[in-house]
Amino acid sequence: MFNYLKFAIYQIIGFISSLPLIRKFTKNPHKYSSEEKFKFLKDQASKSLDLVNIKLNILGKERVPKEPVLFVINHSSMLDSFILISSTPKPIGVVIADVPTWRNIPILRHWIELTKSVYINRENNREGVKSINKCAENIKEGQSMAIFPEGDLTWVKDPKSLVSDFKPGALKIAYKAKCPIVPMVIKNSLHTYEGYQPVGKINSKDVEVEFLEPIYDHLKNPKLRTVELAKTIKENMIEEMKKYQLKNPGLKEEII
């Protein structure tokens, strides 16, 4: 619990201290680059993980294209958003579940807007399509986007899986934006956070993040079904996670 208290207090102090930045960026939004706007969130996320001794080993940054991309990430822990933001080599907007929790968090909701993150309603197909289109527009305008296509934490959807089934419609973002997809595998984050609630236990762990080779299959063949592409990405993620666990024998019990 001590780790969680340190972590929570740091978020409160950090985001309150960012109010002058929010005012500056909001007053002249076009004056500042995406990198300048994203820097605070990246620093906050990285220092937050350092504070609770969650160490990241990041592999494959050189594989990320210079052009805007859609990052596709597995989702095992409530801390994965911090891991994502700490790891990405370029500014991103994140696709976020359209629930009151996220919309009503003071200060954070302003950063969500500043980084061109997009809420997606999973219960309303029409609204979901609007969100997908908005994400594609952001990418076309030069802003990379990131999505957790499982739609929920892996162990909530399927406790026996390393990566649960994707919601393949999420990949339509890359089809519409005509951009590469970069799979991003987060390994060993499962037990960094115990629980599914805003208050939980944070455990210090070593986490490995790997950017896989960018995918262009959907650009070469626009008729490629999202279901097929989602299956391929999921299988590649599972393969990399198993390789990691085989190199770390203490994690074998989590292999399926």
Give, in words, the CATH class of 2-254.
Answer: alpha beta
Distance, CA of 3 to CA of 13 (rounded, Å): 16
Tell me, what's the pLDDT at 251? 63
Q: What is the pLDDT of residues 143-192, one digit of tens each?
A: 999 999 998 889 989 888 999 999 999 999 999 999 999 999 999 999 99
**In the chain, where are the structural domains located?**
2-254
> Which stretches of the chain are DSSP H helices?
2-17, 19-27, 34-51, 80-87, 100-103, 108-114, 125-140, 154-157, 172-177, 217-220, 226-247
Report in angstroms the alpha-carbon separations of 162 from 180, 187, 235.
24, 9, 10
Q: Is the pLDDT of residue 241 over 70?
A: yes
Q: What is the pLDDT of residues 57-109, one digit of tens each?
A: 999 999 999 999 999 999 999 999 999 999 999 999 999 988 767 677 888 88
Distance, CA of 93 to CA of 79 (rounded, Å): 17
